[in-house]
């Protein structure tokens, strides 16, 4: 691992720590923030990784420096992070993902607290049931969060619900907590519609949803709600992959709607597909910030969302920009879909304007305010 000394170049470093740049919301956050910071400051921007891999690296601007600690596992990266902090002496280090935040805070303390440290929390704290390894791990991480988060200069919560669950869990961050949403990339409008091969015709109307095929996303409820809507010509496209693929596909066969429900997996151009849809639906049981909901608004696409724990209610301003329905309520979701297909709550211009409230530049300026 070769680390440059920022003093040699007479520039300060802003460091962003994350284990890797594989696909995911936290990884996209780091990339969007890093790219925006290069436009807003002359400081060097480092992304510090425990392993230099991940499909999202190609989206980084060339001005962003990648520092590969070469430790593979986050739990074994403390000596390398300590070394990096002592040599580089950044003006600030920003970390995300709770287990990475814990490791970064421990490293920062061992290194002698050489800079500001900002940790970002994007998910509500939930109790993991049973006696699984995941539950034991979550208990340990939560204990360490309680011990370490109060030492951070700032703890960024991406929405009120995330902050509330941290406080309710006994994490004493009343003095250093700040609310800042996620930066999102505002997609450019393309003139030509994209051909979507799994639909019968180029002009086939469809509803879109996106996310990992897991219990959290509530796609089982969405499929049941879709089966109830009156328009039998419209299709449903669920973008994403995950362990419940077989169960969801089986559900469509039981309901007799298998020809109108499509699960294409991961796609390279989800934004264009969302843009062409008649409606975007978020059916989640709980969420963090939900970038994809903002991306749908940025496309001007009407949206329906469950009023689940997390940021949807804040993003939609209590239903001003899209229909909000209760979680796990098939009939309410079906009504919300039909209502929004017939008479969307907001105009495309209003939805796009709302998305710009969370543009990468605006959010990066808020972070920069706490760094400087």
Cα–Cα distance for residue pair 158/97, rounded to 1 Å: 12
List strands edge to edge, sheet with 323-325: 261-265, 235-239, 206-210, 279-282, 303-306, 323-325
- CATH for 206-356? 3.40.50.2000
**pLDDT for 243 beyond 80:** yes
Secondary structure class of 120 (helix, strand, coil):
strand
Q: Which CATH number fits domain 6-180: 1.10.560.10, 3.40.50.2300, 3.40.50.2000, 2.60.210.10?
A: 3.40.50.2000
Yes or no: say if 285 and 218 are a contact pair by the CB < 8 Å rule. yes
Q: Could you identify the residue written with the tokens 């089986």?
A: 250
Closest CA to 165 of 283, 288, 285: 288
Tokens of 183: 């930066």
**pLDDT for 5 beyond 70:** no
Closest CA to 93 of 150, 160, 44: 44
Name the band, by pLDDT with cuts 50, 70 and 90, for residue 7.
very low
CATH 3.40.50.2000 region(s) of the chain?
A: 6-180, 206-356
Whether this model's pTM surpasses 0.75: yes
As a dihedral over the C-alpha atoms of residue 114, residue 163, residue 19, residue 117, rounded to 10 degrees, the angle is -10
Secondary structure class of 193 (helix, strand, coil):
coil
**pLDDT for 25 beyond 80:** no
Segment among 54-68, 111-125, 155-169, 303-317 with least mean pLDDT: 54-68
- Region 128-156: mean pLDDT is 85
Q: Could you identify the residue written with the tokens 């505002």?
A: 186
Cα–Cα distance for residue pair 182/291, rounded to 1 Å: 7
Yes or no: say if 207 and 236 are a contact pair by the CB < 8 Å rule. yes
Cα–Cα distance for residue pair 364/8, rounded to 1 Å: 26
Cα–Cα distance for residue pair 273/255, rounded to 1 Å: 25
Yes or no: say if 236 and 226 are a contact pair by the CB < 8 Å rule. yes
Tokens of 142: 């939560």
Q: What is the pLDDT of residue 138?
A: 85
Residue 48 bridge partners (DSSP):
17, 67
Tokens of 70: 């070469």
Report angle CA 190, 276, 218 to the nearest 5 degrees: 135
């Amino acid at each position: 691992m070769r680390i440059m000394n920022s003093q040699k170049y007479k520039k300060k470093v802003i460091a962003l720590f994350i284990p890797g740049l594989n696909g995911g919301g936290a990884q996209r956050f780091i990339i969007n923030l890093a790219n925006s910071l290069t436009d807003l400051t002359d400081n060097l921007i480092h992304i510090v990784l425990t392993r230099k891999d991940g499909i999202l690296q190609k989206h980084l601007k060339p001005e962003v420096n990648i520092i590969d600690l070469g430790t593979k596992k986050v739990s074994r990266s403390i000596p390398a992070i300590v070394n990096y902090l002592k040599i580089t002496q950044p003006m600030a280090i920003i970390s995300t993902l709770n287990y990475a935040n814990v490791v970064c805070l421990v490293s920062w303390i061992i290194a002698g607290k050489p800079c500001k440290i900002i940790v970002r929390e994007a998910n509500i704290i939930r109790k993991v049931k049973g006696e699984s390894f995941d539950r034991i791990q979550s208990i340990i991480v939560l204990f360490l969060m309680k011990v370490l988060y109060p030492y951070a200069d700032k703890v960024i919560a991406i929405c009120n619900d995330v902050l509330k669950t941290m406080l309710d869990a006994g994490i004493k961050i009343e003095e250093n907590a700040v609310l800042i949403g996620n930066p999102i990339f505002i997609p450019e409008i393309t003139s030509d519609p994209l051909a979507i091969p799994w639909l019968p015709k180029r002009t086939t109307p469809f509803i879109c949803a996106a996310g990992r095929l897991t219990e959290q996303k509530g796609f089982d409820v969405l499929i049941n709600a879709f089966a109830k809507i009156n328009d039998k010509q419209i299709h449903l496209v669920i973008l994403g992959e995950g362990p419940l693929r077989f169960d969801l596909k089986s559900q469509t066969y039981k309901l007799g709607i298998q020809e109108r429900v499509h699960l294409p997996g991961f796609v390279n151009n989800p934004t264009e597909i969302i843009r062409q849809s008649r409606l975007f639906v978020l059916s989640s049981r709980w969420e963090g910030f939900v970038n994809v909901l903002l991306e749908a608004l940025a496309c001007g696409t009407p949206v329906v969302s469950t009023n689940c724990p997390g940021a949807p209610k804040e993003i939609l301003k209590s239903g001003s920009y899209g229909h909000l329905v209760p979680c796990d309520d098939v009939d309410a979701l079906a009504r919300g879909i039909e209502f929004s297909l017939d008479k969307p709550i907001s105009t495309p211009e209003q939805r796009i304007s709302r998305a710009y409230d969370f543009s990468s530049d605006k959010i990066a300026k808020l972070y920069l305010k706490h760094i400087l």
